[in-house]
Amino acid sequence: MQYESLTTDRRAGYGNFVNPQWARLLDALSMNVRYERCEGVELVTDDGRRILDFLSGYCVHNTGHNHPRIVEALKDELDRSGPAMLQSHVSESAGALAERLTAKAGGILRKVFFPSTGSEGVETAIKFSRAHTGRRHLLYADGAFHGLTCGALSLMGHPFWREGFGEMLPETASVPFGDIAELERRLGTGRFAMFIVEPVQSEGGVRIPGPDYLRAAQEICRRTGTVFVLDEVQSGMHRTGPFLAAHHFGVEPDMVILAKALSGGLVPVAAVLMTETLYRSVYGSLKRSIIHTSTFSENGLSMRAGLAALDVLEEERLGERAAEMGELLRARLRDALAGYEMVKEVRGLGLLCGIEFTAPRSLSRRLAFESFMAIHPAMFGQIVVMRLFRDHNILTQICGNNHLVLKAAPPLTAEVRHIHRFAEAIGEVVRCIHESPSFWTEALGLARRVANI
Ligand SMILES: Cc1ncc(COP(=O)(O)O)c(C=O)c1O
């Protein structure tokens, strides 16, 4: 027993006092299992199921679940009874982590602010780019996911996330992802403080821009005095191979936001890397030394987790591994999914991989598919996720802003056998979709039940 519950049913507390709708959705999808131990790429349930994690908590678990080195670092930090949340000291571990992050990121990034979440990192970018340029307008790319706080949400066009929450920041605009001419037109007005973009749009459907897009974006930003911000919350920390996805494209952004995997999957931590001049625009004098801060910024546990996560990524050469395993994964998937009319494309960089589905041409399947779409646009993908989980013990998810793309993003510690297992399982699910009418009848029944709860 790790904690006391007021009721005899330890699981009832969540449904009663936290988020019953989430629990009901997981129940309906047969995914509300009780995890007992999570290690590396494997999640073990209380009834002995061993589930292969191909989601990584949306790119949090790059170093694998509960890596012993990171757990040890956190225990050590607690045992030493050092300063925690003192708000009155200079943190040595924050200095060490910032030094290592800027060295790994390279380019013109010289200073670091440490928030606790990706959204808070995006809020930081909004404030700093405004302070730096004296402009208020903010530009983002269609399909982006930047977080759900009000500022970050103002930089996401998808209506699903915004509905019911009222007005967001007024001076925002979007451009199509990958469209250099439109970016030029917008930024040419000289009104925008920043252009924020994910080098690979993860929730947008694992969309990879053309080879020249980010370099062109950087050049336009420099020419128009716009701060060039890369959101690497999912794509950073060696997820795509190099430390930053920016390194694939040869760009030197003014600001980079990291979060998720920096924590080693154990405590909240984010980092905003920036140029010296951006830093000075905000903290330019003694009286402004804490003009932008946050209670949990630079806290000892987060900094130690970040340092330990970097150690593991480097010592286990997880960047190289992500590149190699990513190639293998895509090769195996292309092989296993070849010839199926509903598979449009397999794409990705490193271990950030997407399988895009499309509407079937054949009439019988098309009718069933359209019924799914009518119930909810995410429903088809959720059934694929549910099948992988229930029938093959594999955890995945579809992309938050592109429901026809299934994301495959295992911990970077995944081995060849895990890649094979995933490819075989998705091959089997896709075979059922195309060859087994019972797939559609069962799935439609389930979809209607889920839609009605
Ligand atoms: C690319 C990207 N940016 C920002 C965020 C927001 O991060 P957080 O949920 O830590 O606030 C996310 C979250 O999924 C993300 O994927």
What does the pLDDT look like over 105-120, one tens digit per residue?
A: 999 999 999 999 999 9
- Would residue 128 show up in a list of annotated catalytic residues for this protein? no
- Report the alpha-carbon distance of residue 379 to residue 64 in Å, rounded: 29
CA of 147 to the centre of ligand 1 (A): 5
What pLDDT sits at residue 99? 98
Given pLDDT bands bounded at 50, 70 and 90, which one contains residue 2? low
pLDDT of residue 364: 81
Distance CA 125, CA 301 (A): 24
Q: Which atom of ligand 1 is nearest to the CA of 232?
A: 1
- Options 128, 231, 380, 439, the catalytic residue: 231
**pLDDT above 60: residue 1:** no
CA distances (Å), origin 3, targets 7, 34, 37, 164, 414: 12, 15, 16, 36, 32
**What is residue 363's predicted lDDT score, i.e. its pLDDT?**
87
Judged by phi (left if over 0) then psi (alpha if -120 to 50, else beta), residue 285 lies in: beta
Q: Which residues pair with 230 in a beta bridge?
A: 197, 256
pLDDT in tens, 168-209: 999 999 999 999 999 999 999 999 999 999 999 999 999 999
* pLDDT exceeds 80 at position 244: yes
Q: What's the rounded Cα separation, in Å, for the pair 272 and 293?
A: 12
* Sequence-separated (6 or more) residues with CB below 8 Å from residue 411: 40, 41, 53, 56, 61, 62, 63, 64, 65
pLDDT tens, 37-66?
999 999 999 999 999 999 999 999 999 999
Q: Closest by alpha carbon to 154, among 109, 111, 119?
A: 119
Query: What is the model's pLDDT at position 8?
Result: 64
The reply to whether 231 belongs to the active site is: yes
> Would you say the CB of residue 263 lies under 6 angstroms from ligand 1?
no
Does the C-beta of 141 come closer than 6 Å to ligand 1?
no
- CA dist., res. 264 & res. 261, Å (int): 5
- pLDDT on residue 336: 98
Torsion of CA 274, 279, 281, 285, to 10 degrees: 180
CA angle 253, 316, 420 (to 5 degrees): 95
Q: Are 313 and 240 in contact (CB under 8 A)?
A: no
Q: Is the CB of 275 under 6 A from ligand 1?
A: no
Q: Is the pLDDT of residue 425 over 90?
A: yes
